[in-house]
Structure 1
Amino acid sequence: MKFHTRKWVKPEDLNPNNSLFGGRLLQWIDEEAALYAIIQLDNHKVVTKFMSEINFINSPKQGDILEIGLEPVKFGKTSLTLRCEVRNMETRQEIIAINTIVMVNLGDHGHPKPHGKTEIEYINDRLEQTRIKR
């Protein structure tokens, strides 16, 4: 799993128990999953369709730096299924695990649209293909 993003737990992210508010963490995960899918599917119109059971394993505290990791599980006809793990950057302690996040590629009218992708593409590879075509 590749950890793409780091988030710093600040006072405004805390719940009354002085640990990270779960909704804030889910917001960060959803945003990261959307960005990942947008880049992979090469389309800015991507939405979250489904998140499986969310397992909160440990509670981050103020000052912790978290890493959000995503890995593709499956390319569907109009979707990309991801797995997510969030861990404490310094201790590597697992914070949360989500086994299934389904992101759907949309067309101009907001309906699912086939994306034609079957495997992970990296930005450097896309840039290289653009250079070769020139």
Structure 2
Amino acid sequence: MRFHTRKWVKPEDLNPNGTLFGGQLLAWIDEEAALYTIIQLENSKIVTKYMSEINFMASAKKGDIVEIGIEVVKFGRSSITLKCEARNKMTRETILTVDNMIMVNLDENGKPKPHGKSKIEFVKDRLEDS
């Protein structure tokens, strides 16, 4: 799994227990999945359709650095299915995993649109093809 982003846990990210609020972490993951999908499908009109069971395994506290990793599970006709792991860079523990996140490619009217992709593409490879 490639870890694409890091987030610094700040006081406003904490729950009453003094640890990272799960909702904040899920917002970071949803944003990262959206950015990843926009780049892969080359379309800024995408939505999160589904997120499977979320398995919280550890936490993070103020000052910790959280890494978010995304990996493609499969390409659908108008969707891409991802899996995700968030880990605490300081303790090296996995904070949570999400086995399936389905992101859907949309047309200008907000309807699912085939994307024509079948494999991961890297921006550097697209530039070389030009």
Q: TM-score, normalised by structure 1?
A: 0.96
Letter in 2 for 1:10: K
Partners of 2:11 and 2:61 in 1: CA distance: 9
Q: Which residue of 2 aligns with 1:22?
A: 22
Q: Which residue of 1 aligns with 2:42?
A: 42
Partners of 2:90 and 2:121 in 1: CA distance: 29
CA deviation vs aligned residue, 1:58-84 (integer Å, no higher than 9, x gap): 011111101000000000000000000
- How far did residue 26 of structure 1 move? 0.3
- Name the stretch that deviates more: 87-96 or 24-33: 87-96
CA deviation vs aligned residue, 1:4-62 (integer Å, no higher than 9, x gap): 00000000000100000110000000000000000000000010000000011001111
Cα RMSD between the aligned structures?
0.5
Partners of 1:10 and 1:90 in 2: CA distance: 14
Partners of 2:91 and 2:76 in 1: CA distance: 35
- How far did residue 90 of structure 1 move? 2.9
Q: Which residue of 2 aligns with 1:51?
A: 51
Q: Which residue of 1 aligns with 2:111?
A: 111
User: % of aligned pairs identical?
Assistant: 66
Partners of 2:74 and 2:10 in 1: CA distance: 34
Q: Which residue of 1 aligns with 2:128?
A: 128
Tell whether the 8 Å contact from 2:83 to 2:101 is kept in structure 1 after alignment: yes
Letter in 1 for 2:65: I
Gaps of at least 5 residues in structure 2 are none
- How far did residue 101 of structure 1 move? 0.3
Q: Which residue of 1 aligns with 2:11?
A: 11
Letter in 2 for 1:75: F
Letter in 2 for 1:117: K
- How far did residue 92 of structure 1 move? 1.8
Tell whether the 8 Å contact from 2:59 to 2:88 is kept in structure 1 after alignment: no
Tell whether the 8 Å contact from 2:4 to 2:70 is kept in structure 1 after alignment: yes
